Structure 1
Amino acid sequence: MGHAELLGLSMATATETATDFDVARNDSFGLRVQHILHGNPVLGPLAVLIVAIIAFSIVNVRFFSAANLSLVLAQVTVIAVLALGQTLVILTAGIDLSAGAIAVFSSILMAVFCTRAGMPGVLALLFGLAFGTAMGALNGFLVTRIKLPPFIVTLGTLTMFFSLNSVISNSETVRGSDMPSLMTWTGNSIPIGGFRLTYGSIFMLLLFGLFFYALSRTAWGKHVYATGDDIEAARLAGIRTSRVLFSVYTIAGLLYAVGGWILIGRLASASPNVGTDYNLDSITAVVLGGTSLFGGRGSVLGTLIGALIVGVFRNGLQLGGVEVVWQGFAIGLLVLVAVSLDQWIRKVKT
């Protein structure tokens, strides 16, 4: 073999080696990112939120004003509380399509108890929360005892509760001025400079703190994750999975009812004609927050960030003059990207 051929062979070998090195380097980088996101699912949503805030602040200087940020947080509050309950359900590999219906129905019941039944505000609130909890317990009973799929169960109760909204309210809106002040208390705000923080938002943040602790520091929280990750393995490990699932749907119902109370304060009324998008928005917030639709992975902190992403995008696109239909398109695209990313992260090899 001549020197020219040897030289050509050496150069070809060197090129292949360099190419293999580049591929290995790229694969190594991708694997590192995959492992980081698998271990810290909140990082992805947080990065999206920061980028969105910066981008919308550049597009419209009004976005970062105290008044507008107050509006974003107030708009996000109800969805965030519903998404908190939705997170518990999705962590167990379930889904709850009745979240918005329970919230709106609970708000109607609270308003009716106050106005027609003449109950004091505290009693009406407690009855409304109790009924919301019972609606969640009904979902849990059908899932755990009758063994029906969560999708079918909550699709059915969604229709039932929205229908009952109209029956109980006679399709009429109850004004906040006709109810005790406790019903609209969550809509009151505390001025902090130019920023206004509502009591509903404060209550929402306290709930997130409570459930962050419950899921990360209690046996119940560990059982929720175990049940969602592999229900059969959890059962064999001695976890009463049916009891865990029932508790999750019941607590979710209570959280939805709390969302209904905050909704009254937000709107200064109780209307049976709101909440049609709440189910989708709550699921969107959970998915954008990094909680896996396949269960067993995610956090309430991610859900809070996901709810803020939804609020920031809707508000930022509106300030940017984007039509409502394209706002929905953007949110839908975000969901598809988030689910695709979740699929990729779940393939990580440990």
Structure 2
Amino acid sequence: MNVRRRLISGAAAVAATALGLGALTACSGAAAAGGRSDGKLDVVASFYPLQYLAEEIGGTHVNVTNLTEPGQEPHDLEISARQTARLQDADAVLYIKNLQPAVDDAVVQAEVKNKIDAASLTKLEKHGTEVGGHAAAHDHGEDEEGGATDPHVWLDPVRFAEVAEGVAAAFEKADPKHSADYAKNMAALRSRFVALNTDFENGLARTRTKTFITTHAAFGYLAERYGLTEEAISGLDPESEPSGNRIKGLESMAKADGVTTVFYETLVSDRTARTIAGDTGLRTDVLDPLEGITDKSRGSDYMQVMESNLKALQKALGAE
């Protein structure tokens, strides 16, 4: 079934949240972090989508380091001593709490002044045993009331645009000398998010089916945004193993709902997806959760890969 979630707040509230993260201090001249003398804001991003935001918003005024190497599965990241030192010397760290446990631990221990949790810049949803038709087998940020928070907010262009607004506000506060440039870069990025959202709305408005199968439950926010239903083989963790009953249920559902395709991703094994596809006579294709860019990615940056995801969904769902 489709789960309709509460609409998120506007950009103004996001900016206020960002400014509430704590006092942000600009780096300058020889006082730049890590002994830098170029005067740039030194930003550490925990994985690719946040690197993309930092680079697009920061432009020439930031140095951005990504803790997750290309091709590395970000959920399994282990931080090296060198990366810990790099984080310690940074002006700001940009991460999503409860996505990468090793990063969470390192951020808590680091003395970096500006800790920007992207999860606090938009509304994330708590998932119970079933959300949007998929099983949330692995809990991220499970609270005492039960349920888990889905961190895959970057796959919803509207929510991720709100995260971007918060990041821009944080950069402007941290480096007021270049605040006009950060605002200008954010305006350009905002326009691209609006265009991307429009492409998805128009491209998925009329489809033969609304249900798609993925290897892990990364696309719940995207499915909700565009009136689709995600059926995931695994839960929020791509390494979690589905039960035999879950696989049988997916096979039956695929026949009943006219599903044509089982989607897999580039950074984890496609074995289970191909098994289900083979047993049910379905196709396989890539739906990229954009946790990293590699030479296998269908695009060189966030926007290009998202457009490729749209094309894959249109084909699989029988878009008119």
What range describes the TM-score normalised by the shorter chain of this pair? under 0.3
The structure that is helix-richer by fraction is 1
Q: TM-score, normalised on structure 2? A: 0.27
Greater strand fraction, Structure 1 or Structure 2: 2
TM-score (norm 1): 0.26
